[in-house]
Chains A and B, each alone.
Chain A
Amino acid sequence: MTSILFIIILLYLLSSAGYILFLFAQKEIYHQMSYWIMMAGFAVHTILIGYEFFRIGYLPAQNLHQTLMFAGWSLAGVFLLLKYRYRLNILGVYAAPLTTAIMIAAFCVPAVAVSPTPLFKSLWLILHIIIIFIAEASLALACGTGILYLIQEHAIKTKTNRFFLKRLPSLEFLDRTGYAFVVIGFTMLTIGLITGFVYAHLAWGKFWSWDNKEIWSMITWLIYAALLHGRLVAGWRGRRAAIMAIIGFAALLFTFFGVNFLLEGHHDEFTK
């Protein structure tokens, strides 16, 4: 197990190095190789998670180690898919190291034994977890695109940094791609929350229980809703949209980790 995880980390690490090399050397071959190496890492990663799934009989996302493993897997998968669709090669400089970091964190966190309950096998829970993780990965990429936007905007405004100006795509492209990522992420987040409510109804008999996790999920959802609404109605483009995507992702991270570490709630066991 550990050695397989080690191989996955190594592949992601290689991919990250390749993308950083691409940033500096700007040779097509570097990002192409990095993409395939990441794909290989993702394949091994998928096998590992699939194996776990069948071994324990429920989705392996019940403790912090598993959660991080799953987060890394969904980020890698969503990146590979969206990069293929949107051709934002340079985003690998953000996505590959982030995936690697998550996997190293997973490697360092010991797997705490989980006492499985029949509820874990609920289809609604499985859907809820998978969809929410896809949403979070998309929104993480939206945040990364927002960061790239701000870097490029800064380069153009200050007229000094030719390094990034040459290497990053156009503002309009970054803005549009970031927007697409938010739309995908927001849609998934909405579906994920609905499946969560259904699952809550099955598990605890009510859709909404004013749990901290639920409240923060709603806050996060509202931030992204505001971002999309502002864009459609008031034309919040460019810088403002990029900043909102970053703030939204920060709120998301807090909902994901912060609530569990700092506040009490019924998702506690994930982070143990």
Chain B
Amino acid sequence: MTNLQNDNGEPAGIPADISDSGLTTGPTSGPEMSDIILIGVNHKTAPVELREKLAFSDEETQTALKLCQATPHVNEAMILSTCNRVEMLMVTKNQSLALETISSFIAATKSISLPQLKKSTYIYFGDQAIAHVFRVASSLDSMMIGEPQILGQLKEAFKIAVNKKNTGLILNRLMHKAFSVAKRVRSETGIGGQAVSISYAAVELAKKIFDTLEDKTVLLVGAGEMAELAVEHLIRNTVSGNLLVANRTFSVGVELANRYSGHAIRLEEIPEKLKIVDIIISSTGSPDYVITKNHVKPTMRSRKNRPLFFIDIAVPRDIDPAINRISNAYVYDIDDLQGVINENIETRNTESIKAERIVDESVIKFTDWYESLNVIPTIIALRRKLNAIADMELSKTMQALQHLSSSDRMAFERMTESLINKILHDPTRFLKNPGSHRNKSVYLDFTRKLFNIDS
């Protein structure tokens, strides 16, 4: 596992002391930052071909979650699989075992060699993992920074893990924090305003192919939210009514077409309509190519070779990449658009800096909470609280008993101290070792809540 790479290209191996502690102190030692680990691939580390291959279906997600439950020392887990990323978030006391289990599971089910997988994988531990989750939720790590879908996808992934009882105290808290961070980033920065960046990229490219977009006709294949985002800016550059929408569910297509005063067509009509459209945006969930080279080649002649521009934002892809080899036909998939988007990132830098600050703040807050789940600080805080109560009550009582000698007072003080010690004795012992099958973090969290330590 030590040769796995993180985003900076540096080996993200498990530090020796961490893996040691994981093995020697066993599952009952207190929570440590490094227990939270995140392993994954995204659009920055893996090309679309690999992401297509690695994407988890619903059944695969459930199988993997079951596997995590069966793996010793993996306390909590969830899986996020979108078109741009496959990530697995785990809370475990045995990082190397967890990572190995999940890696070999992926390698086996996706028939990909381990070294090949490792080359594209990043692994984060502790606060780095937390920061990554927050960044993903806030759409800062998205291909199109600020795109809103990722939050919904993350919520869905979390729901599945919750339903499968794969999450616990830590992931529940982490995810709820992530959702609120995302909400803050959205409302406090202008990142969300850039959600249409795929649109901008598409328009910028279209303007390098077509002299003017005004008289061009756009065909939308698939009427999802993504498609609508993509088409929004494009449609503003064309004359209204030049939009065709092809969708598997015809009524959904009609609805979207009406919104932009376009027309809905049936999927079967696409090859025929290729003769009259100029720009095609495709975003269906189809596992196969929706438009192939054989559809396009014959139409070029009747189009008199007027250019055709395909924008494929679906993963797996809808448009056969071989179409790009046909003269006057141009295919851009979601990775290709990244190149264009990258150039626009600079203009967003200030907003990103704000968003990153929000993420950093939230990471620190979460880390504080997480570290408070350790036994020693909890017991110290508990004792401090009891001491404070005792001191206050003692001084109140002593004011009424002015006649007592100093040795009498000392006796009272000794008594309260030993009371506190006696009271704390059993809880301390229990918290230090709640039993090997119990999750200590839960009890620590409960204790802190019970005694209202964190307020």
Q: Which of chain B's residues have a CB closer than 8 A to the CB of A236?
A: 305
Q: How many residues of B contact A (CB 8 A)?
A: 20
CA of A162 to CA of B330, assembled, Å: 16
Does A165 count as interface, using CB distance less than 8 angstroms?
A: yes
8 A Cβ contacts from B300-332 to A? 301, 303-307, 324, 327-328, 330, 332
Does A53 count as interface, using CB distance less than 8 angstroms?
A: no
Q: How many residues of A contact B (CB 8 A)?
A: 20
Does A170 count as interface, using CB distance less than 8 angstroms?
A: yes
Q: Which of chain A's residues have a CB closer than 8 A to the CB of B303?
A: 235
Interface pair B328/A170, CB less than 8 Å apart: no
Q: Which of B327, B332, B336: most chain A CB closer than 10 A?
A: B327
8 A Cβ contacts from A156-200 to B? 156-157, 159, 162, 165, 168-173, 176
Q: Which of chain A's residues have a CB closer than 8 A to the CB of B12?
A: none
Does B10 count as interface, using CB distance less than 8 angstroms?
A: no
In-complex Cβ contact of B301 among A162, A169, A235, A240 (8 A): A235
Interface pair B339/A173, CB less than 8 Å apart: no
**7 nearest A-B residue pairs (beta carbon):** A235-B304, A172-B211, A237-B305, A173-B211, A238-B328, A235-B305, A159-B336
Does A152 count as interface, using CB distance less than 8 angstroms?
A: yes
Q: Which of chain A's residues have a CB closer than 8 A to the CB of B330?
A: 156-157
Does B368 count as interface, using CB distance less than 8 angstroms?
A: no
- What is the interface of chain A, defined by CB distance below 8 A to chain B? 152, 156-157, 159, 162, 165, 168-173, 176, 234-240
Interface pair A170/B207, CB less than 8 Å apart: yes
Tell me the number of A-to-B contacts counted with CB atoms below 8 Å.
Answer: 50
Interface pair B209/A172, CB less than 8 Å apart: yes
A-side interface mostly:
helix
- What is the interface of chain B, defined by CB distance below 8 A to chain A? 205, 207-211, 301, 303-307, 324, 327-328, 330, 332, 336, 339, 343
Q: Which of chain B's residues have a CB closer than 8 A to the CB of A237?
A: 304-306, 328
Known contacts A159-B336, A162-B339, A238-B327; is-contact A176 B211 (Cβ 8 Å): yes
CA of A218 to CA of B307, assembled, Å: 32
Nearest chain A CB to B325 CB, angstrom units: 8
Interface pair B305/A170, CB less than 8 Å apart: no
Q: Which of chain B's residues have a CB closer than 8 A to the CB of A169?
A: 211
Q: Which of chain B's residues have a CB closer than 8 A to the CB of A173?
A: 211
CA of A234 to CA of B303, assembled, Å: 10
Interface pair A170/B208, CB less than 8 Å apart: yes
Interface pair B211/A170, CB less than 8 Å apart: yes
Interface pair B210/A170, CB less than 8 Å apart: yes
> Can you spell out 29 A-B residue pairs with CB atoms less than 8 angstroms apart?
A156-B209, A157-B330, A159-B336, A162-B339, A162-B343, A165-B208, A168-B208, A170-B207, A170-B208, A170-B209, A170-B210, A170-B211, A172-B209, A172-B211, A172-B307, A234-B304, A235-B301, A235-B303, A235-B304, A235-B306, A236-B305, A237-B304, A237-B305, A237-B328, A238-B305, A238-B307, A239-B328, A240-B305, A240-B327
B209: nearest chain-A partner, CB-CB: A171
CA of A236 to CA of B306, assembled, Å: 9
Known contacts A165-B208, A176-B211; is-contact A159 B301 (Cβ 8 Å): no
Nearest chain A CB to B313 CB, angstrom units: 15
A240: nearest chain-B partner, CB-CB: B327
Nearest chain A CB to B428 CB, angstrom units: 64
Q: Which of chain B's residues have a CB closer than 8 A to the CB of A159?
A: 332, 336, 339
Interface pair B307/A171, CB less than 8 Å apart: yes
CA of A169 to CA of B209, assembled, Å: 8
CA of A205 to CA of B327, assembled, Å: 49
Q: Which of chain A's residues have a CB closer than 8 A to the CB of B301?
A: 234-235
Q: Which of chain B's residues have a CB closer than 8 A to the CB of A168?
A: 208
Q: Which of chain A's residues have a CB closer than 8 A to the CB of B343?
A: 162
Q: Which of chain B's residues have a CB closer than 8 A to the CB of A238?
A: 305, 307, 327-328
B343: nearest chain-A partner, CB-CB: A162
Nearest chain A CB to B298 CB, angstrom units: 13
Further 14 A-B residue pairs, CB within 8 A, beyond A171-B209, A235-B306, A236-B305: A152-B208, A156-B208, A159-B332, A159-B339, A162-B339, A169-B211, A170-B211, A171-B208, A172-B210, A173-B211, A235-B305, A238-B327, A239-B327, A240-B305
Nearest chain B CB to A12 CB, angstrom units: 30
CA of A82 to CA of B324, assembled, Å: 33
Q: Which of chain A's residues have a CB closer than 8 A to the CB of B305?
A: 235-238, 240
Nearest chain A CB to B339 CB, angstrom units: 6
Q: Which of chain B's residues have a CB closer than 8 A to the CB of A156?
A: 205, 208-209, 330
CA of A237 to CA of B307, assembled, Å: 9
A231: nearest chain-B partner, CB-CB: B304
B342: nearest chain-A partner, CB-CB: A162
CA of A173 to CA of B206, assembled, Å: 12
Q: Which of chain B's residues have a CB closer than 8 A to the CB of A235?
A: 301, 303-306
Q: Which of chain A's residues have a CB closer than 8 A to the CB of B211?
A: 169-170, 172-173, 176
Interface pair B324/A157, CB less than 8 Å apart: yes
Q: Which of chain B's residues have a CB closer than 8 A to the CB of A176?
A: 211
Nearest chain B CB to A210 CB, angstrom units: 38
A233: nearest chain-B partner, CB-CB: B304
Q: Which of chain A's residues have a CB closer than 8 A to the CB of B328?
A: 237-239
Nearest chain A CB to B275 CB, angstrom units: 12
CA of A139 to CA of B200, assembled, Å: 36
Q: Which of chain B's residues have a CB closer than 8 A to the CB of A170?
A: 207-211
Nearest chain A CB to B143 CB, angstrom units: 15
Nearest chain B CB to A138 CB, angstrom units: 21
CA of A19 to CA of B304, assembled, Å: 34
CA of A162 to CA of B332, assembled, Å: 14
Nearest chain B CB to A185 CB, angstrom units: 21
CA of A28 to CA of B305, assembled, Å: 33
Q: Which of chain A's residues have a CB closer than 8 A to the CB of B209?
A: 156, 170-172
CA of A234 to CA of B210, assembled, Å: 20
Q: Which of chain B's residues have a CB closer than 8 A to the CB of A239?
A: 327-328
A238: nearest chain-B partner, CB-CB: B328
B336: nearest chain-A partner, CB-CB: A159
B206: nearest chain-A partner, CB-CB: A170
Nearest chain A CB to B300 CB, angstrom units: 8
CA of A170 to CA of B207, assembled, Å: 6
Q: Which of chain B's residues have a CB closer than 8 A to the CB of A165?
A: 208
Q: Which of chain B's residues have a CB closer than 8 A to the CB of A152?
A: 208
Q: Which of chain B's residues have a CB closer than 8 A to the CB of A172?
A: 209-211, 307
CA of A170 to CA of B301, assembled, Å: 21
